[in-house]
Amino acid sequence: PPYPASNDPSSSSTSEDDDYNVGSPVLEVSDSEFDENVPPRESPNHDGGARKKVRLYQFLLELLKSGDMRDCVWWLDRERGTFQFSSKHKEQLAHRWGMQKGNRKKMTYQKMARALRNYGKTGEIRKIKKKLTLQI
């Protein structure tokens, strides 16, 4: 032949196989090791799983203690743990709760109130007879 096979790597099938095999083990190793050993993406944001999700009653308690969003939620009797929502700003509070949770869909007061009613079953939060009033 006019050109020896050893001088033309593109014509050699062993050279093509060698090029293919050079990248292959890296992909195989990284795929299997990555899937089995690397935690989900959100774990690093949560300090390796050490940080728990904030629950609604904790979120409300923190807002009440800090005085953040006083126009939305405030203490009626701090010693007794009673607080009240503003009827005008309850949707704003629900929206902030949805953001805190990282929800993709909009949180509404109706959805947040359902969670508050569920807390009533566990005894973490009690409904007071007065409108939009609860007790921690």
- Give the model confidence (pLDDT) of 61-104 as tens digits: 999 999 889 999 999 999 999 999 999 999 999 999 999 999 88
Q: How far apart are CA 94 and CA 7, in angstroms?
A: 72
Does this model's pTM top 0.85?
no
Q: Is 95 helix (H, G, I), strand (E, B) or coil?
A: helix
Q: Are 34 and 113 in contact (CB under 8 A)?
A: no
Q: Are 91 and 108 in contact (CB under 8 A)?
A: yes
The CATH code that applies to domain 54-135 is: 1.10.10.10
pLDDT given for residue 46 in this prediction: 43
Q: Tokens 């010693």, residue?
A: 79
- Closest CA relative to residue 90, chosen from 75, 107, 103: 107
Residue type for 42, please? E
- Closest CA relative to residue 95, chosen from 66, 73, 121, 127: 73
pLDDT, tens digit, 9 for 90 and up, residues 37-47 = 444 444 344 44
Q: What is the dihedral of CA 86, 58, 49, 112, to 10 degrees?
A: -40
Q: How far apart are CA 103 and CA 97, in angstroms?
A: 9
17/111: higher pLDDT: 111
Tokens of 117: 């009613």
